[in-house]
Structure 1
Amino acid sequence: MKIALFGATGRVGQAFIEEARKHKHIEIFAFVRSENAKLPISEDHIIKGNARKPNDVNQIISQADTVVSCLSTDGDDTLSAAMRNIIESMKQNQVQRLLTVGTAGILQSRLEPDKYRFESIESKRKTTRAAKEHASVYTMLLASDLDWTIICPAYLPDGDAAGTYRFEQDVLPEGGAKITVGDTAHFLYRELASPQFFRKRVGLAY
């Protein structure tokens, strides 16, 4: 399996690389913004580029059969701009499978099921900007023909993988408040290796 990894230098991206390295059948091409990025993969698999530029995105996806995105919102519309390029490049290169890390805010609210969590009384967010960016990505993927999964973790403290957590389609597991970066990466690999949630959001928490 050849993976085009976006957001490789972020916390979840780095944890995913460590998880994937345990499995010999995975080959990762990491997309980075800086030539100085230090990652535990061979230099010829580290590809510098700007996710806002379609040609840069196409350069890495053309080498892969699966895409994993651990991109963050970056304080602006980088996430949605990048996802537009990723979706288009995947179509051009006939790459079908996409796993992306979102936020629990775009899951459905348990208390107000017709709303996202970030729009509902469940949310404790002071700002909704990042959640709206992730919701925009969800809307794009719904309109696509790709086999996508959005993994939506609760609050993400640092920490290694324990391998024990809860997950649920479209909603956050009841009472779930957090999950470590390590266990988020663990589930990301698990869904990659044994898909259960095609074209679905998955809430993840302890």
Structure 2
Amino acid sequence: MRISLFGGTGRVGSILLQQLLEGGHRVTALARNPEKLPVHPNLTVIQGDAKEGAAIAATILGSEAVVSALGTDKTTTLSEAIPHMIEAMKDECIKRILTIGTAGILQSRNEPEHLRYEAGDSNRKLTTAAEEHHAAFRALSASNLDWTIVCPTYLPDGEITGIYRTEENWLPVDGKQISTGDTAHFAEHELFACNHLQARVGLSY
């Protein structure tokens, strides 16, 4: 499959990129610093900024699915990039998009009408990252795309075990953490399985 990838130099995105290439897929990745990406015959790298619509459109051109592992890093990159992705996907008649979000935008078990970051389910005092992911969630929800947002909880570096729990729109009960490796593992599987369309998926051990 021809896949566009954003955030391929990040902690989850770099693992996901490796998995996609090992799976024989052709990947086009957008990066501000292309030297951070591996050299591979099935990888095309476009240098650019994910805030720029033209760069996103060029990355998505000719693809069959889109993956975003963009982080927030106290910037508005994510909330600015997602609308550009949606527009480019419409132009290319692409339906499938999977993004890496955060458990903060899952429903709160304490206040189910609110999201976890709004209800204070986590110990995080700063909500900037969750607000960025919430903006992306709102934009995708308003689209007619086949979207899935993978929402890991506390995310330490770690290997792929393939053993974890998932729950649609909620964080699994007592979920405390999930490795970067297992987050990428689930994301790759879900990209093709399409078991959770128009949904957020909580992910933890």
Which TM-score band (shorter chain)?
over 0.9
Q: Is the 8 A contact 1:32 1:49 kept in 2?
A: yes
- Paired position in structure 2 for 1:96: 95
- Paired position in structure 2 for 1:170: 169
**Equivalent residues in 2 for 1:31-180 (5 A)?**
31-42=30-41, 45-180=44-179
- Paired position in structure 1 for 2:17: 17
2-side partners of 1:95 and 1:146: how far apart?
8
Match of 1:150, SS state, is strand
2-side partners of 1:104 and 1:38: how far apart?
27
Match of 2:202, SS state, is strand
Runs of 4+ displaced beyond 4 Å: none
1-side partners of 2:117 and 2:83: how far apart?
23
In structure 2, the CA distance between the partners of 1:20 and 1:44, relative to structure 1 (3 Å rule), is closer
Q: Is the 8 A contact 1:5 1:69 kept in 2?
A: yes
Q: TM-score, normalised by structure 2?
A: 0.96
Alpha-carbon offset, residue 15 of structure 1? 0.6
Query: Match of 2:27, as an amino acid?
Result: I
- Paired position in structure 1 for 2:27: 28
Tell me how large the CA RMSD over aligned residues is: 1.3
How many residues of Structure 1 are paired with residues of Structure 2 in the alignment? 205
1-side partners of 2:34 and 2:173: how far apart?
42
Alpha-carbon offset, residue 17 of structure 1? 1.5
Alpha-carbon offset, residue 142 of structure 1? 0.8
2-side partners of 1:14 and 1:128: how far apart?
25
Alpha-carbon offset, residue 44 of structure 1? 6.1
Q: Is the 8 A contact 1:5 1:30 kept in 2?
A: yes
How big is each residue's C-alpha offset from its partner over 1:113-152, in whole Å with a ceiling of 9 and x where there is no partner? 0110011142211101110110011011111111100000
In structure 2, the CA distance between the partners of 1:40 and 1:161, relative to structure 1 (3 Å rule), is farther
Alpha-carbon offset, residue 42 of structure 1? 3.5
Query: Match of 2:148, as an amino acid?
Result: T
Alpha-carbon offset, residue 10 of structure 1? 0.3
2-side partners of 1:148 and 1:77: how far apart?
21
2-side partners of 1:44 and 1:133: how far apart?
28
Q: Is the 8 A contact 1:9 1:39 kept in 2?
A: no
Match of 2:36, SS state, is coil
2-side partners of 1:125 and 1:40: how far apart?
37
Match of 1:164, SS state, is coil
2-side partners of 1:187 and 1:76: how far apart?
26
In structure 2, the CA distance between the partners of 1:64 and 1:166, relative to structure 1 (3 Å rule), is same
Match of 1:185, SS state, is helix
